[in-house]
Amino acid sequence: EDKPSGTVEFPVDKLLHGLLAAGFDEGSCLSRYQSTSYRKERPRKPSSYLISRLRSYEALHKRCGPYTESYNKTLEQLKSGHQSGTSDCNYVVWISFSGLGNRILTLASAFLYALLTNRVLLVDPGIDMTGLFCEPFPEVSWFLPADFPLKIQFASFDQKNSHCYGKMLKENNFANPDKSELPSYLYLHLVHDYDFHDKLFFCDQDQTLFQKIPWLIMKTDNYFVPSLFLIPSFEKELSNLFPNKDLVFHFLGRYLFHPTNKVWGLIARYYKSYLANADERIGIQIRVFDTGTGPFQHVLDQILACTIKENLLPEINKNEAIISPSGTPKAKAVLMTSLSSGYFEKIRDMYWEHPTVTGDLIGIYQPSHEEHQQTHKQMHNQKALAEMYLLSFTDVLVTSSWSTFGYVAQSLGGLRPWILYKPENRTAPDPPCRRAMSMEPCFHAPPFYDCKAKRGIDTGDLVPHVRHCEDMSWGLKLV
């Protein structure tokens, strides 16, 4: 068969069944094409509708992205303070805020919101985003230009800002929505401390008003996707995009987040050195929110109770020096991630000092122990991203409650993890863990409001696919 010259064809799996756009320079972002070969399962198939919407988003982004004619024009509106007539390009600007796991989840949420509202997503590079992620859209950058007029205000945007939507509502600014008086931009405060008025973002009526505002600037530390599924005007589109609701972040994450070659080097070297040759890979993500310096005995007890009870790791035999396995022993590689090295050292020593009852060989590995969160440091965040990715390459995953770091790993990997319950009063909970209902992240601060009836309701009880989370009783997740 003749193929047109000059075109490169990738096998279906390389572009994740059409999820990824063709036409990127492969060498500039190796992770985009190589990460599939590190995963055992065949990539899941995105809906053809999602694929077509992504391609049309890419076209929109190309037409409206930074320094395009339309961008320059809409920027003039922003500078003038008032919006004059409808602009053909509207934007949602994502402010870089919070820990890396949180940022990955909020960026995916903002992108989905942009898709639903035909806006262009622009990403505040913050201090480290360009060193972490490749460009996801062909040809035109997703990064907000450094000369964007409001950029210097990003850090100070809060609920008291005169453009904060919640504050403007409180002060009755939209009582008479005469179009000429609408501002050219709004600041949407969707941070966990947001109040009743900020949360009206999740109401159809408010969404209708936003349609007239070219610039929405968003600060959030929450995966707010589950509540988008409860907005009536988005319902149909979302169910077309995602016939399987358990796969929302899985697809958005694999579409958007490709580690730079620097980070991919960290990932690939570690994987090949320590994980590739094992018969089975087990990920254990430890995130302790207790105050005080660990390692804590109750956390160690909990990890072992969970992994042994659920048959993820074998028991040890303290009475025998050597155990001869009946069949061929399995080599299991355990990838642990934690800010401290204490849990890793204890478990590694345990499997060195004693044989396992099955004769299986257990290797325990932990790439880093950064001791505490250092969100402002480039290499620290690159290692954190590398570790989330490495966890997503495991066959079996154990995660900690409340941690967005773990959510990213599980969803990217397409894994339904065992979640370690959050310890109370420094004791290991019983049962120590449970299997997650779905691989989706949990929205930690959802609204509990019925926009139509104007009263409180349990938003975890409205539709079968939006439920309360396993690890946070008031959170919401897609199942």
Q: Does 300 help bind ligand GDP (rule: CB under 6 A)?
A: no
Query: How many other C-beta atoms lie within 10 A of the C-beta of residue 149?
Result: 11
Q: Count the site residues for ligand GDP by CB under 6 A.
A: 21
* DSSP single-letter state for residue 20: S
Nearer to ligand GDP by Cβ, of 227 and 403: the residue is 403
Residue nearest to ligand GDP (CB): 99
Can you tell me which of 31, 35, 74, 102 binds ligand GDP, judged by CB under 6 A? 102
Tokens of 249: 């972040």
Closest CA to 204 of 241, 167, 232: 232
CB 283 within 8 A of CB 275: no
Q: Does 384 help bind ligand GDP (rule: CB under 6 A)?
A: yes
Can you tell me which of 35, 227, 337, 356 binds ligand GDP, judged by CB under 6 A? 337
% helix, strand, coil for the chain, step of 5: 40, 15, 45
Pick the piece of the chain touching ligand GDP (CB under 6 A) from 28-36, 109-117, 397-405, 449-457: 397-405
Using a CB cutoff of 8 Å and minimum separation of 24, what contacts does 151-156 make?
Answer: 151/124, 154/95, 154/96, 154/124, 154/217, 154/219
* DSSP single-letter state for residue 273: I
Can you tell me which of 14, 39, 354, 380 binds ligand GDP, judged by CB under 6 A? 380
Site string for ligand GDP, 193-232 (x = CB under 6 A): ----------------------------------------
Q: Does 370 help bind ligand GDP (rule: CB under 6 A)?
A: yes
Closest CA to 419 of 250, 283, 295: 283
Nearer to ligand GDP by Cβ, of 100 and 428: the residue is 100
Residue 387 C-beta: closest distance to ligand GDP, Å: 5
User: Rounded to 5 degrees, what are φ and ψ at 105?
Assistant: -70, -40
CB 206 within 8 A of CB 89: no
Pick the piece of the chain touching ligand GDP (CB under 6 A) from 93-101, 154-162, 267-275, 299-307: 93-101
User: Rounded to 5 degrees, what are φ and ψ at 464?
Assistant: -65, -25
Nearer to ligand GDP by Cβ, of 96 and 404: the residue is 404
Q: Alpha helix (H) ranges present in 84-142?
A: 100-117, 129-132
Q: Does 339 help bind ligand GDP (rule: CB under 6 A)?
A: yes
- The strand order across the sheet containing 215-220 reads 120-123, 91-94, 215-220, 185-190
Nearer to ligand GDP by Cβ, of 227 and 399: the residue is 399
Using CB under 6 A, list all residues that contact ligand GDP.
98-102, 287, 337-339, 368, 370, 373, 375, 380-381, 383-384, 387, 403-405
